[in-house]
């Protein structure tokens, strides 16, 4: 209580909260309006994007455990390859795989985080990354073994992310967030 007999935590126009309670969400700086609640579709789409990223990491780790098999397949396909050519080729392949994995892990994670903040550009990025990952995974679905399962999970997560990001509650959420950076 203030010295004048009023509770300073109660502002004009706000309901009285005798036990404190949680404050209202902060207003959006650009519009001055309270942010709308994040719909479950956006949360679920973010989860699907996280799944896509996780599968990429698992796929890279599985590939790195198969280097001996990859070298044997290269030797069988080209018996004239020297050991130094083989090692250079495998090393270049590893570097390319790591860089591509970083892109296909980092961008979906960025899209998931920023989509949850209502950034429309992130919804578009998430859609593009999910579509690329899904299409690439479709080509590997018939490869057999654990790779088939990982590719199937990627395809399903990609479809889920795209559909959920563009459902009506999601579109309303992104529209309400406005054109912020």
Low-confidence residues of the chain, pLDDT below 70? 1-36, 180-181
Q: What angle do the packed helices 145-166 and 40-65 form, to 10 degrees?
A: 160
For CA atoms 83, 84, 86, 87, the dihedral sign is positive
Residue 142 confidence (pLDDT): 76
Residue 179 confidence (pLDDT): 74
Separation CA 84–CA 15 (nearest Å)? 75
Residue 59 confidence (pLDDT): 94
Q: How far is residue 8 from each of residues 14, 21, 27, measured CA to CA in Å?
A: 12, 14, 20
Residue 128 confidence (pLDDT): 98
Residue 10 confidence (pLDDT): 56
Q: pTM of the full predicted structure?
A: 0.76
């Amino acid at each position: 209580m203030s010295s004048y007999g009023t509770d300073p935590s109660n502002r004009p126009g706000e309901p009285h909260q005798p036990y404190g309670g949680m404050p209202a969400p902060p207003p959006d700086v650009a519009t001055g309006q309270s942010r709308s609640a994040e719909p479950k579709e956006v949360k679920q789409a973010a989860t699907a994007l996280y799944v896509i990223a996780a599968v990429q990491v698992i796929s890279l780790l599985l590939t790195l455990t198969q280097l001996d098999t990859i070298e044997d397949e290269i030797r069988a396909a080209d018996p004239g390859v020297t050991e130094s050519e083989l090692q250079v080729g495998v090393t270049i392949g590893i570097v390319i795989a790591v860089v591509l994995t970083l892109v296909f892990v980092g961008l979906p994670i960025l899209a998931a985080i920023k989509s949850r903040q209502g950034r429309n550009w992130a919804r578009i990025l998430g859609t593009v990354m999910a579509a690329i990952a899904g299409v690439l995974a479709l080509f590997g679905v018939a490869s057999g073994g654990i790779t088939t399962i990982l590719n199937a999970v990627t395809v399903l997560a990609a479809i889920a992310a795209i559909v959920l990001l563009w459902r009506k509650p999601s579109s309303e959420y992104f529209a309400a967030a406005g054109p912020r950076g």
